[in-house]
Amino acid sequence: MITTLHRPLPRTLVLVGLMGAGKTAVGKRVAARLGLGFVDADHEIETAAGCTIPDIFARYGEPAFRDLERRVIARLMRDPVQVLSTGGGAFMDPQTRDVIAELGLSVWLKADLAVLAARTAKRSNRPLLRGGDPKTLLAELMERRHPIYALADLTVESRDGPVEETVDRVLAAIDAHLAATAAAEETAPAGRTD
């Protein structure tokens, strides 16, 4: 079990991926192991709106929700280094992706369809899974979103099994990424001074 990193996390860790990938469960545990704060963007959006995400969708529609989501995440990215769990559609927004790329380190928690379907079946507050077969809707979301999620800095498998195993994989991937970044910086030629 990896309990910490060999180097300090220099930027906010942003977890992206489909609903049910484990962003909140994994994020809370990663934050605890690193001694960092944890923030769930969906919770912050609900606080800002004064109502639930399903209510925002019902009252104002998805475009209004995405606008609020964009603004809340941009604000959160300017806070001190922390672990941030985002909603499944957040990373699809180009402006949000740009802010995350500039100020954060993104990790795509990638889960297969069976895992996502089993996990999302346990909760009824998923507006995008209403109005059809949830497994079919998830498959459609995977097809549209996976190419964009693949733009994240790191990809970590979120498998069926103990959440601590996914936490270990996330920390190992971050540790390897930070080591590779540090090595690249050490071997990069110094800039010319003339």
Look at residue 189 in the predicted model and tell me its pLDDT.
Answer: 73
Is 161 marked as binding a ligand? no
Look at residue 122 in the predicted model and tell me its pLDDT.
Answer: 61
In degrees rounded to 5, what are phi and psi of residue 176? Answer: -65, -40
Mode of pairing for the β-strands spanning 38-40 and 12-16: unpaired
Mode of pairing for the β-strands spanning 38-40 and 104-110: unpaired
Q: CB–CB of 111/157 below 8 Å?
A: yes
Look at residue 118 in the predicted model and tell me its pLDDT.
Answer: 83
Is 20 marked as binding a ligand? yes
DSSP H helical segments within 93-162, as ranges? 94-103, 113-120, 134-149
Averaged pLDDT of the chain? 89
Complete domains list, the chain, with CATH: 12-180 (3.40.50.300)
Q: Is 50 left (phi over 0), alpha (psi -120 to 50) or beta?
A: left
Look at residue 135 in the predicted model and tell me its pLDDT.
Answer: 82
Is 22 marked as binding a ligand? yes
